[in-house]
Amino acid sequence: MADYSRLALLASDAERAQEAAALYRETFDWVSLEEADAVVVLGGDGFMLQSLHAMLDSGHILPAYGVNLGTVGFLMNRNRKTDTLLGRIARAKPHTIAPLLMQAVTQDGERHSCFAINEVSLLRETRQTAKIEVSVDDKVRIPELVCDGVLLSTPAGSTAYNLSADGPILPLDSQLLALTPISPFRPRRWHGAILPDRSEVRLRVLEEEKRSVSVVADQREVRDVAEVRLAIARERELTLLFDPGHSLDERIVAEQFVV
């Protein structure tokens, strides 16, 4: 079992999470993020993503054990008795996830880069459909995709927006990415692609001034983009800790049998 003797605590602003944080602070001695071996995150999936992004941006990345005090809790563990926390963390199974690095260039030539743990999606900004050239590993695969948008999802995010857009669910250890169109008009029979996670994807916006497109990396948006490049950032891998029997792998499998 891993030794996570020094723990930091993060809690969302939600009332339930703040009440739980008060109990946890009375029960254990906590340290700062800079001194910690791991971090306990109280809240929902949105706050977990926010916390992971903060670590990605700072470069100080810790294993994260989530306690679900939100709604869905796909990335979290069940909320149980406070005094069993240390034992649960000691028995937790680590799962490594690699985020996407998004590099975007706007119509004005500005450059933006950020990470996405779930997915990066391009979305039309106006009533006009988007026209997007799709390239994989510097080879044009679709010269003109006419659609509401297109997204690239990691396995961790494959049950989120990707699934809602009829994309495939990917096992966590599959080393794959899902490239999924959003309401495609042409080519009519293209429903997306499953790519090796070593692939580099370039999405170039056609008729960009007339058909404006924004890009969203998880919760971060850049508007009026001209081109977006996407690749896995292996140097920024994240570790999530899950209770035995409640791993992200199991949740991904279970999601495929929901009727």
Is 159 annotated to bind a ligand? Reply is yes
Determine if residue 45 is labeled as part of a ligand binding site. yes
Q: Is 207 annotated as a binding residue?
A: no
**Contacts (Cβ under 8 Å, ≥6 apart) of 238:** 52, 55, 56, 61, 64, 96, 97, 98, 99, 117
Q: Is 226 annotated as a binding residue?
A: no
Q: Is 65 annotated as belonging to a binding site?
A: no
Alpha carbons 140 and 134: distance in angstroms, whole number: 6
Q: Which residues pair with 115 in a beta bridge?
A: 101
The answer to the question of whether 36 is labelled as a binding residue is no
Give the separation between CA 58 and CA 211, rounded to whole angstroms.
35
Residue 3 appears among annotated catalytic residues: no
C-beta of residue 81 within 8 angstroms of C-beta of residue 94: no
180 marked as binding residue: no
Residue with tokens 């497109």: 213
Tell me the C-alpha distance between 259 and 56, whole Å. 36
Residue 8 annotated as part of some ligand binding site: no
Strands 225-232 and 176-182: unpaired
Q: Judge whether 46 is annotated as a binding position.
A: yes
Active-site annotation holder among 3, 13, 37, 45: 45
Q: 244 — alpha (psi -120 to 50), left (phi > 0) or beta?
A: beta
Residues that are catalytic: 45
The binding site consists of 45-46, 118-119, 148, 156, 159-164
Binding residues for NAD(+): 45-46, 118-119, 148, 156, 159-164
